[in-house]
Amino acid sequence: MAKISVFGIGYVGVVSAACLADDGHEVVAVDLDPAKVSAVNAGLSPIVENGLDEIIARAVASGRLRATTDGQQAVLDTDASFVCVGTPSDEAGAVGLKYVKGVCADIGQAIKHKQSFHSVIIRSTIVPGTMDETCVPVLEEASGMIAGQDFGVGYYPEFLRESTAIADYYDPGLIVFGALEDRTAQILKDINAQMPVPSHVVTLKTAEAVKYASNSWRAVKVTFANEIGNIAKASGVDGQQVMKLICADTKVNISPYFMKPGFAFGGSCLPKDVRALQHLAARTGVPSPLLDSVLIANEAQIDRAETMVANSGAKSVGLVGIAFKPGTDDLRESPLAELASRLISKGLELRVYDPYVSQAVAGGVSAMGRGNDVVPDLPSRLVGKIEDLIAGSDVILVGNRYEETIAPLNSVSEYRSLVDLTRINTSLRSNGTYEGICW
């Protein structure tokens, strides 16, 4: 079992401290507020949270949980410190780091007096890059030591919901953390070893980003449900029933399929149906700011890809895939067809590898009205072999994933200019020659 000091007896800190102690760890809770410290030491919860009073009383009675205002002594008495202080918005809306920096400085001052290795693990919500750019430098300056070598550093975001925090702690939907070295990572692995979900060990920045993505996604879901509910009500429909049925579809609606960052959406359904719902909302006098932003954001993703191609300086472009998705010849509102049209209009030479569109053209079954009039002279631009497309292009623009193209594209990704909108290889990250649109 670990010896852990928890800095901040607020909502996250006191729940974390109590649950860690209840699990058998030796925990010291630290706060500047003597009233909170006294409450914990008396076996009482300083906040109202279902089930927390009983856990704190049990942990204090067992001797595994105590509270103090002496942060330095708490660090000296423990092997790891969890930082759980607030990060309220500053006046500009940015994350406020006053309390995080203050605690990091205090812990840094304390660990320089220790002979043993100490891990500093931030749980406060901080934007990607804060650990590297703020927390680690503050700790190193205060301690005169090197992070990842003389002391440990980790980031371990929490996903506790008020009123269900205890249940969330013991039955989490996600456990993710990052660490600079193995000893801190092992502490976090051990703490979570008995949890019902696996621990995901990532970089510090990734862990920071996951926390913000998670909270923002929750906010988007609430806003979307409310917007649909408002439109439904104005149309004489029960919005809660609509969303209940939406959530019943776990194959498509509640699915990771549409949650992969990449290129814009298109096709014969999504764009026109978003427009139609926008029109209905306007006709019934219901504001629809989220739906209004969807098509704007989708257009911006096409703009982003266009800029990436322009930045490559290429004169000739080899486009892999032009239908709105793999496995079809349908070009209706295909964002790839729109991108191709823009590049052609700028004077770039463009050729296309798309086996399904080529098959339809060769068989004479590609009917006008399915979007193939968007790209000038499309039949003459089609190339039958991916190798020929690669050989004749300054930049390869990968729009759709076709299995027969993966090996040839991977083989040239290190020395040929390649703009990837679909991710041909999860090990590749933007590096100058290879550019992924979201990675």
Task: Give the 3-state DSSP-derived string for 256-314, with helices as H, strands as E and coil as C.
Answer: HHHHCCCCCCCCCCHHHHHHHHHHHHHHCCCCCHHHHHHHHHHHHHHHHHHHHHHHHCC
Angle between helix 204-234 and helix 239-248 axes, rounded to 10 deg = 130
Q: Both tokens of residue 330?
A: 């349908």
Q: What is the pTM of this model?
A: 0.90
If residue 7 lies in a helix (H) or strand (E), which one and from where to where? strand 3-7
DSSP string, 189-222: HHHTTTSSS-EEEE-HHHHHHHHHHHHHHHHHHH
- pLDDT by residue (tens digit) across 344-383? 999 999 999 999 999 999 888 655 445 667 899 999 999 9
| Binding site members for NAD(+) | 31, 36, 87, 125, 162, 272, 332
| Binding site members for substrate | 159-162, 211, 258-262, 266, 325
pLDDT on residue 371: 60
pLDDT on residue 279: 97
344 in Cβ contact with 376 (< 8 Å): yes
Backbone angles phi, psi at 404, to 5 degrees: -70, -10
pLDDT on residue 366: 52
Lowest mean pLDDT among 63-77, 174-188, 235-249, 365-379: 365-379
> At which residue do the structure tokens 């068989």 appear?
363
pLDDT on residue 364: 80
Q: Terminus-to-terminus CA distance in the chain, angstroms?
A: 39
Q: What is the 3-state secondary structure (H, E, C) of 229-257?
A: HHHHHHCCCCHHHHHHHHHHCCCCCCCHH
What is the rounded (10 degree) CA torsion for 408, 413, 414, 419?
Answer: 170
Average pLDDT over residues 213-222: 96
Domain coordinates in residue numbering, the chain: 3-202, 204-259, 297-436
H helix runs in 30-164, sequence order = 34-41, 52-62, 71-76, 98-111, 130, 136-143
Same fold, 3-202 and 297-436: yes
Average pLDDT over residues 132-146: 98
| Active-site residue, selected from the candidate residues 19, 135, 247, 269 | 269
- Highest CATH level, class, for 3-202: alpha beta
CATH 3.40.50.720 assigned to domain 297-436? The reply is yes
Task: State the sign of the Cα–Cα–Cα–Cα dihedral 279, 280, 285, 286.
Answer: negative
Beta strand 119-122 pairing with 417-420: unpaired
Q: Both tokens of residue 356?
A: 């399904």
Instruction: Report which of 371, 10, 11, 366 is spatially closest to residue 162, judged by C-alpha positions.
Output: 11
Give the integer Cα–Cα distance in Å for 21 and 24.
Answer: 5
The SS3 of residue 361 is helix
- pLDDT by residue (tens digit) across 276-321? 999 999 999 999 999 999 999 999 999 999 999 999 999 999 999 9
Instruction: Report which of 36, 205, 23 is spatially closest to residue 122, judged by C-alpha positions.
Output: 205
Q: Side-chain half-sphere of 402: how many Cα atoms within 13 Å?
A: 23
Q: Both tokens of residue 176?
A: 């993710």
pLDDT on residue 368: 44
Average pLDDT over residues 334-338: 96
Query: Any catalytic annotation for residue 269?
Result: yes
pLDDT on residue 369: 46
DSSP string, 394-405: SEEEE-S--HHH
| Binding site members | 31, 36, 87, 125, 159-162, 211, 258-262, 266, 272, 325, 332
**Distances 208 to 5, 262, 302 between C-alpha atoms, Å:** 21, 21, 28
